[in-house]
Structure 1
Amino acid sequence: MAGEDKPVFAARRRERILELVRANGAMALRDIADQVRVSEVTVRRDVRTLEAEGLIDRRRGGAALPGHPLAGKGRRAGGTAPELSAIARKAAPLVSDDDAIVLGPGEAVEALAAELTGRRGLTVVTNSLRVAQTLAAAPGVEVVMTGGTLRGSVLALVGGAAEQSLEGLRVRRAFVSGQGVTAERGLSTPNAAVAGVDRALAACAEEVIVLADHSRVGADTMVQTVAPEHIAHLVTDSHADPEVLMTLEDMGTTVYVAVPDVDRGE
């Protein structure tokens, strides 16, 4: 297909592939190719790119959302629902009534939002549509959305408008996630636009708190968002690499380890 590999067309095509996989959970490559109207070879190449960004998993002849039963087994598994819930419960006491905080995108932060619906006098600044939706009906929570351009793969607002809307704001704590956190580079994500807003969210706060399941601890991706010396707290699960956690603690980060209910035998 002429011109299909130009950057703008490739980006739009990958967004469409991600939308299809998100809607169906898993799809065969030939079905994706029919929907997007490109060759299976092109779809296979796009799926590899999306997998490298941590957005989908490859499987034989198809693609699936991470954690889906049909997802490929070659990629390291991400956080499960029990792990994310445990992380959220562990982080929730770090938010008080009458607080002002920022919440970024990501499954662990979204799980935290669900734990905060009973807070009173809480102001939450966010660029995440899922976080905003979770807190929309909470009577004691005021939600402030950033501006920006919607990035469909993470359902978050990004870009210059999002970053500018955060200028001049000051909150007590920022809760952010990402695709990797290491002692050497801190928090990182594979997408520059997402990283730009994550940095702006972190810059608003007196303290930065990273929520990361074990699959992200020790992982390093392309774009740094928060330097390790600026991570005040890390909340993770009991399957995280202890050497990475100890190194971060030695650097001054307070580490909280959440034990999922399934590991407690509950």
Structure 2
Amino acid sequence: MRANGAVSLRELARVVQTSEVTVRRDVRALEAEGLLDRRHGGAVLPGGFTRESGFPQKSHLATAEKTAIADLAAGLVSEGEAVVVGAGTTTQELARRLARVPGLTVVTNSLLVAQALAHANRVEVVMTGGTLRGSNYALVGSGAEQSLQGLRVSRAFLSGSGLTAERGLSTSNMLSASVDRALVQAASEVVVLADHGKLGTDTMFQTVPAGSITRLVTDEPPGQDERAERELQALADRGVQIAVAGRPGAEPPGVPGGEQGAGAAGPEPGAGVHQEAGRPGPERPRRDVAMPGPRRTERPGSAPGTAPGAPPPAQLRTPGAASRVADLAPRRR
């Protein structure tokens, strides 16, 4: 970890030739001694307020969770939309799925996002200006921020280093945080993509306050991760819409009689998915919690404003008992 800044449990198990269960136990003991900080699927050096792992290390952490999050988030994007996508390994996964949405315009400061969309048919990519930051292959600085002035899109997809209900989304680098704030100013809605290992983690520079986050797309925390569960509820109490992807490895069921993504060809094989909290889904028992504001009665599988004869929108489904959907809303006091 001193050499790389972060390490995955899988890689540790391979190097020391033991099981991931043993490695996880040892990592927990090292964290208790203050020698490292655990992250889901791996560990990083302590001192998260100032330390930032580079792209090679981040790309090996929580890969299955990022895939499930990207699958779910891609269902929010419709044909012909214009969106901004920030830098990060999770947003890179999202970009790979957005390549299937025709007529899409994507504004980004990330070379990795642009690369994922470079050969997509009928997808226009607009790059910001700025100075290249090599650790995450992103354009930052005043040039990037000035190129975003006067821009207006439907929504922004952002990731970060940590997310709390108190401070919102944060990152360890000042230049990255400044550009992300400029991306937020250009969007009507803000969608944060963060695996559950980032929930409850606070880093040095605030990117988006919790009150400005429209929606959080995350994965399901393990049953013993009480901190992540508390943070999810606290974010819901602040009005953030929570969408939780299914457990990694769960096979998505087929969607009879329709497409599986808005303008997309559906999730890639083997992706675990999902139902968005608050959206119509399969007719089965579920926990319904009243959301604030006026309620509308709609038929399952329909969406407001859908023209007669139009194809049904994406139905994001949960693969039975293999996953759980968090349908969180503000608690009544």
TM-score where L is the length of structure 2: 0.58
Q: Quick check: 2:82–2:153 contact (8 Å CA) kept in 1? A: yes
Q: Distance in 2 between matches of 1:155 and 1:174?
A: 19
Correspondence list, 1:105-144, <5 A: 105-144=87-126
Counterpart for residue 57 of structure 2: 65
The Cα offsets for residues 59-86 of structure 1, whole Å up to 9 and x where unpaired, read as: xxxxx83575xxxxxxxxx4x2211110
Name the SS for the 2:75 alignment partner.
Answer: helix
With over 3 angstroms needed to count, the CA separation of the structure-2 counterparts of 1:67 and 1:96, relative to structure 1, is closer
Name the SS for the 1:101 alignment partner.
Answer: strand
Where is the helix percentage greater, Structure 1 or Structure 2?
Answer: 1
Amino acid of the residue matched to residue 203 of structure 1? Q
TM-score where L is the length of structure 1: 0.72
Q: Distance in 2 between matches of 1:156 and 1:143?
A: 15
Counterpart for residue 158 of structure 1: 140
Where do 5+ consecutive residues of structure 1 fail to align?
1-16, 27-46, 58-63, 69-77
The Cα offsets for residues 114-158 of structure 1, whole Å up to 9 and x where unpaired, read as: 111111110000000000000010012100000000000000000
1:261 aligned to which of 224, 244, 248: 248
CA deviation after TM superposition for structure 1 residue 104, in Å? 0.2
Counterpart for residue 36 of structure 1: none
Counterpart for residue 231 of structure 2: 244
Larger radius of gyration: 2
CA deviation after TM superposition for structure 1 residue 260, in Å? 3.1
Q: Distance in 2 between matches of 1:49 and 1:200?
A: 29
Counterpart for residue 158 of structure 2: 176
Counterpart for residue 53 of structure 2: 55
Where is the strand percentage greater, Structure 1 or Structure 2?
Answer: 1
The number of residues matched between the two structures is: 209
Q: Quick check: 1:50–1:56 contact (8 Å CA) kept in 2? A: no
Where do 5+ consecutive residues of structure 2 fail to align?
13-43, 252-321, 324-333
Q: Distance in 1 between matches of 2:101 and 2:171?
A: 30
Name the SS for the 1:98 alignment partner.
Answer: coil
Identity %: 51
Name the SS for the 1:188 alignment partner.
Answer: strand
CA deviation after TM superposition for structure 1 residue 93, in Å? 1.2
The Cα offsets for residues 38-77 of structure 1, whole Å up to 9 and x where unpaired, read as: xxxxxxxxx96997523069xxxxxx83575xxxxxxxxx
- For the aligned residues, what is the CA RMSD? 2.7
Counterpart for residue 148 of structure 1: 130
Counterpart for residue 297 of structure 2: none
